[in-house]
Chains A and B, each alone.
Chain A
Amino acid sequence: MKVLGNLGGVRSPSELGRKLEEHDYLADEGLAVACFLALRMGRPLFLEGEAGVGKTELAKTLAKVLDAPLIRLQCYEGLDAAQALYDWDFPRQLLHLKAAETAGVRDVGKLEDDLYDRRFLIRRPLLRAIEEPGSVLLVDEIDRADDEFEAFLLEVLSDFTISIPELGTIRAERPPVVIVTSNRTREVHDALKRRCLYHWLEHPSHEREVAIIRRRLPESTELLAEQVATAVHRLRGRDLLKPPGIAESLDWTEALLALGARELDPGLAAATLGAVLKYREDQQAALADWGRRPG
C-alpha cells in the first residue's frame, strides 16, 4: 500500500483550515478541502489562478503546518534534468581523480566507485524532495517551463522514483506533498493535470481580504484595512491590464503604513499607487476614476 502523505495529525478539511490560519494563511473552504484531499490521497495539487492570489504562499504555509522542509523549483523555459533533478560535481570529481593519480591508486574499480560517490552528487530540487521524507515540493509557475519539462515532471510525479545510472534507482520513502502552480499564461498539458487535483484560486472575498490584511499586518487599523480592501476590490472590477492580487493589497497597506497612514486619502493613494498598480495605463485609469469621485 502506498504510504499516505504527511498529515500532521489533521483529520478534516476544517481542521486543516484552522491550522493554516494559525500560520496566518486564511483559506476558504474549497482550498481547505483541496489541500486536505491532496494530503490524504497523496496526489499533487495543481493550483491555478491570477498572479498574486496566494498560490506560492499556500505551499510555504503548508510546509509550516506539516513542519516539513519546503523545496522549491522555480520553472523557466529550458529547465532541464541537470537543473531540476541532479548533476555531478565534475570539477571536484576531476580533482579527486588527479589526487588519486598522484597518490598512485591502482585499483580502477574502486577509483570509479569513488568518483561516482554520493558526495559528488549535486542534488537538485526534485531529487531532494524525493529523498527527504514528507517534504513539501513547490513546482512554481509550471506554465513558464516548456513541454519537454512537463513530460519529464509527469514521469517523476507518476512514481516518485529517479534513476541515476551510476547509483541506481532512488525511491521516495514517503512521497513529498506536491504543489504545482500556474498563472495560466499557457495551457498545461492535460496528462499532467490528470495526475493532480485541480483547484482554481479566486481573489478573496472582501471580508476575507480585510481579515488577511489585518492578520498579516497587525499594525494596520481596521479602518485602513477596510479601505484598502474596498479600493482594491473596486480596481479588480475595473477592466485593468493587471488587476491587483492579495499580494498587492498587502504591499499597498505596507507602503501606507510606512508613511504613517491611519486611513486612506486620495493624496496618499496617489503617492503609493505604484505598490498596487504596475502598468502606467492602469494607474492613469485609476487616477481618472478617483478624480471623478473624490474621497
Chain B
Amino acid sequence: MSGRDVTDTIVGFARTLRAAGVDADHERTRLMIRALGHVSAANRDEVYWAGRVTLCSTPDDLPRYDRCFAAYFAGETPRLARSAPPVVIVRHTATPVGEPGEQEEGESGLTPAGVSEVEVLRTRDVAGLTAAERDEVHRLLGMLRAGRMSRVSRRFLPARRGRLDQRRTVRAMLRQGGEIGVLHRRRHRRRPRRVVLLIDVSGSMAAYADTLLRLAHALVRSEPRATEVFTLGTRLTRVTAELRHRDPATAMTAVSAAIPDWSGGTRLGAELKEFLTGSRARGAIVVIASDGWERGDASLLGDQMARLSRLAHQVIWVNPHKGRIGYEPLTAGMRVSLPHVDEFIAGHSLAAYERLARLLAGG
C-alpha cells in the first residue's frame, strides 16, 4: 500500500468506528496513521493493536472496535449498530415546557399559577395532576436551584484564619530579608459533596419517572460537576451527560432517547451491584428514587444495600408512595433495604422534592 492508500484506508476505518459510537476523531486518526509507520503493516495483529491503542479510549470502545476491525479489514462495511437494543416501548417523553402562551390557547388548562394555586399544587401527588398542572410543576422544578452540602477537600486555600502556611510565610520572610512579617495561614478547601441519583424508570414508577428526571435535571444544573444520574429498570443507564443540556425540554428528549428500558421490569439488586462495582458510590450521597418493587431476588438487594451503606456518605431513599396516608413499606425490596437507609422520604409532590433538595443542601 502506498502512503496515500494507507491514509484513505484508515480515514475510512475511523469513519466506520465513529458510526459505531467510538470517539475516533481526526486527531486520533492521525495518531494511528503515525503509529502504522512504526509497525509492520503486513502483520494484521500489529495493525490491530496499533489501531486499538490509538483510536480507543475506554473499555466500552473495545468490543465495537473488534467488530469494526474484523468487518472493515475483511472488506465489508460492518453493521452499524450504535448500541445494543433499541427497544423503546412507551415514550414518556417529558412534555416539553412550552411557552406559557401556547398552553393558554390550547386547553382550558392552568395559566402560570398564582401564589395560592402554587401552594396547593406543591403538596399534590404528581400522579394525579392534569397535563397542564404537571407542566406547571415541571416549570417550577426547572427553577429549582439547590445548594449542596460540602465536604473537606485535601487541597488547601490561603485563608485569614487556620493553620500556619509555612511555605508562604517563609517565602514572604525571605523576600523581606529574613524579617518575620505577616504570618500566612491556610485551611482546607471545601468542595460540594457528590450526589448520585438512581432513578427507577420501571413500569410501576411510570407516573413519577418523568418528574423525577426533571428534578434530576435541576440538580445536575445546580452542581454539574458533583452530580451523577443513573436510571434503573432492566438495566443501569448513565444519563448525566444527557441531563447537562441547559434547556429542560432538550435534556428530557435526550434522556428518553438514551433510556432503553422505559416501563420495563426492575432488577434493583442486580443493577445496584453493577453500579457498586464502578465504586462511584464512595463518599457520595446516594439517592434512590424507587418504590422498591423488586422482581429479582430480594436478598441480593439487601446485600447490595448493606454494601452501599458502607461505601456511601449517606443513603437517601425516595419513595413516591410514602406520601400516601396509611403507607407501609411492605414490598420485599423495601423491607430488606430500609435497615441500610439513612433517610426515608416521600417523593410524590413538589413539596417533597423541595425537601429532598434541602436535604442535599445540608439543611
Which residues of A pack against B, CB within 8 Å?
12-13, 29-30, 33-34, 36-37, 40-41, 43, 45, 48, 76-78, 80, 82, 87-88, 90-91, 93-94, 97-98, 101, 115, 146, 148, 184-187, 190, 193-194, 197-200, 239, 241, 281
Residues of A within 8 A of B344 (CB): none
User: Which of A33, A76, A187, A241 neighbours the largest number of chain B CB atoms within 10 Å of its CB?
Assistant: A33
* Per-position 1/0 for B50-61, Cβ under 8 A of A: 101110111100
Segment among B38-46, B89-97, B124-132, B288-296 that sits at the interface with chain A: B38-46
Residues of B within 8 A of A148 (CB): 155
A37 (CB) vs chain B CBs: closest residue: B35
* Per-position 1/0 for B277-298, Cβ under 8 A of A: 1111010000000000000000
Q: How many residues of B contact A (CB 8 A)?
A: 41
B338 within 8 A of A: no
Q: Tell me the chain B residues, 20-52 only, with Cβ under 8 Å from chain A.
A: 23, 27-28, 31, 34-35, 38-40, 45-46, 49-50, 52
B178 within 8 A of A: yes
B133 within 8 A of A: no
In the complex, what distance in Å separates the CA atom of A78 from the CA atom of B191?
A: 12
Complex A-B: 30 CB contacts under 8 Å: A12-B39, A13-B39, A29-B46, A29-B49, A33-B45, A33-B46, A33-B49, A33-B50, A34-B49, A36-B39, A37-B38, A37-B50, A40-B38, A77-B155, A78-B154, A78-B155, A90-B166, A90-B167, A91-B170, A94-B170, A97-B178, A98-B178, A101-B178, A146-B153, A185-B279, A190-B57, A193-B57, A194-B27, A194-B28, A198-B53
In the complex, what distance in Å separates the CA atom of A241 from the CA atom of B39?
A: 39
A90 with B171: CB separation less than 8 A: yes
Residues of A within 8 A of B153 (CB): 77-78, 146
B45: min CB distance to chain A, Å = 6
A187 (CB) vs chain B CBs: closest residue: B58
B57 with A198: CB separation less than 8 A: yes
Given contact pairs A33-B53, A37-B35, A40-B38, A76 touches B170 in the complex (Cβ within 8 A):
no
Count: A-B pairs, CB below 8 Å:
100
Residues of A within 8 A of B38 (CB): 36-37, 40-41
A237: min CB distance to chain B, Å = 15
A97 with B177: CB separation less than 8 A: yes
A146 with B53: CB separation less than 8 A: no
B62 within 8 A of A: yes
In the complex, what distance in Å separates the CA atom of A184 from the CA atom of B59?
A: 10
A126: min CB distance to chain B, Å = 18
Residues of B within 8 A of A80 (CB): 155
B59 with A200: CB separation less than 8 A: yes
B306 (CB) vs chain A CBs: closest residue: A281
Q: Which 4 A-B pairs have the closest CB atoms?
A: A78-B154, A33-B49, A90-B170, A197-B53
Partner of A37, one of B53, B58, B273: B53
